Every structure is written in structure tokens, then in C-alpha cells.
Amino acid sequence: MVLDLIVSKDIDGFTAFVPSIKGCESWDNNEEEAITKSIQLLRFYLELSNNQKINIDFVRKEENRNIYKLIFDILIK
């Protein structure tokens, strides 16, 4: 599965969100922590284990935001 992760820089920090999953959004003072928090939410919403590997690939930069691809296999129970 491949999902977009968008990280926007604001005056007071970073907001990271997965647009295709409602509510999968987080904020932090630094970009890496905002990404980590969003991935934790993604794991919760999709019921992924902590052992499930998720690759984060940087795609491009647009003005005040960075766009990443989250790439992982999803196991159907």
C-alpha cells in the first residue's frame, strides 16, 4: 500500500497528515516528531503492528510543505 504524507511548516511548528485517512493528523515542534506521531496514528487506524515496516520516501517540496510516500504491505486477516 502507498499513502501520501504531507508535512506543512507553520510559524509555530509542523503539521503532518495522511489525507486519505480522516483524522490521521498530528502537530509537533519538529518535523521528524510530527511524522512519527502521524505514523503512530496510521498504525492505530489500520490496526498495524509495531513490527510492520513502513518506508518513508521523500517525494518533493512545495513552498512550505514536504510530501512523502508511506510504503508498506498490509496483511489481510
Q: Is residue 77 part of a domain?
A: no
Range of the domain at 52: 2-71
Q: Tens digit of pLDDT for each residue in 55-68? A: 999 999 999 999 99
pLDDT on residue 74: 77
pTM confidence score? 0.88
Number of domains present in the structure of the chain: 1
The one-letter amino acid code at 12 reads D
Measuring CA to CA, how many Å separate 70 from each of 8, 46, 58? 16, 13, 9
Q: Is residue 54 part of a domain?
A: yes
Q: Is residue 49 part of a domain?
A: yes
Q: Tens digit of pLDDT for each residue in 18-45? A: 999 999 999 999 999 999 999 999 999 9
- Give the CATH number for residue 42: 3.30.160
φ, ψ for residue 41, nearest 5 deg: -65, -40
Residue 75 confidence class, pLDDT cut points 50, 70, 90 = low
Q: Residue 36's CB: how many other CB atoms inside 10 A?
A: 14
Q: Is residue 76 part of a domain?
A: no
Q: Is residue 16 part of a domain?
A: yes
